[in-house]
Amino acid sequence: MISIKSEREIELMKHAGHINYLTHQEVAKHLRVGITTKELNDLAHKFILANDCKPSFLGFEGYPASICVSINDEIVHGIPGKRKIKNGDVVSIDIGVEYKGYHSDSANTYIVGQVKPEVEALVANTKKSLYEGLSAIKEGAKISDIGSKVESYAKKCNLGVVQELVGHGVGTSIHEDPDVPNYYTPNTRVLKAGMVIAVEPMLNLGSRHVYLEENDWTVRTEDGLPSAHFEHTVLVTKDGYVILTGE
């Protein structure tokens, strides 16, 4: 069942989303060549706690860190560690923040230093595909309209759409009903005002195919080409949506 949030719940989720946004700002400020992914994790962790919130991902289904840092061919769930950021890396940062039992989920992809133009286009177009998907959202729209929009934009840009991972509802759990795929499905479920969902296209420079690393978390592109990931948690309204994880 897809939950409809009360005014009180929406206020708590707005706060969780705002701290999520500020945590992204904090991580982005420190993202540079030579910093380790563990250092990025630790400063996000400290920042979240200092704002009376909790990192949603830590311990979720056994996940061992506070944020995900996925580099180049890593699509999602890169586990922070000793690895250092290098010039030319494509770095996806995914953050979950919990405030008083309510969650927010948001991802951004950054280019560190110089990359080929096609990699720059991958990152810019994945971000655009998120806003294409969001543009379908309003009360009465089908959930599948979101995926259709993302997919048609990605196809136009000749990018692969990851299908093994999807967006989702957000609330008292970081992952709730419904699934929000980034591709067309014949699903006829309809959005209602008060639902909160995370939309999160993961687009690949090459094919859409992926594999799971031996650590059972990190998902990589099968062809080794880079991937990008953008995500916002949004509130569905009568005539559109409100981004909870933005400024």
Interface positions with Mg ion (CB under 5 A): 94, 105, 107, 198, 200, 231
Query: Looking at beta carbons only, is 145 or 176 nearer to Mg ion?
Result: 176
Q: How far is the CB of 204 from Mg ion (least distance, A)?
A: 17
Nearer to Mg ion, 44 or 198 (CB): 198
Phi and psi at 125, nearest 5°, equal: -75, -30
Nearer to Mg ion, 85 or 198 (CB): 198
Closest separation in Å from C-beta 171 to Mg ion: 13
Whether residue 151 contacts residue 184, with contact meaning beta carbons closer than 8 Å, is answered with yes
- The sign of the torsion formed by the CA atoms of 43, 46, 49, 50 equals negative
Sheet arrangement for strand 167-169: 176-180, 167-169, 196-199, 232-236, 241-243
Closest distance to Mg ion from the beta carbon of 92 (Å)? 9
- DSSP per-residue string spanning 22-72: HHHHHHHHH--TT-BHHHHHHHHHHHHHHTT-EETTTTGGG--SSEEEEET
CB-based contacts of 11, cutoff 8 Å, min separation 6: none
Measured from the CB of residue 106, what is the shortest distance to Mg ion in angstroms?
6
Residue 154 or 166: the one with the smaller Cβ distance to Mg ion is: 166
Q: How far is the CB of 105 from Mg ion (least distance, A)?
A: 4
Smallest gap from Cβ 29 to Mg ion, in A, equals 20
**Shorter beta-carbon distance to Mg ion: residue 107 or 159:** 107
Nearest to 133 by CA among 118, 113, 148, 155: 148
Nearer to Mg ion, 88 or 246 (CB): 246
Tell me which H or E stretch contains 167.
Answer: strand 167-169
- DSSP-derived 3-state class of residue 217: coil
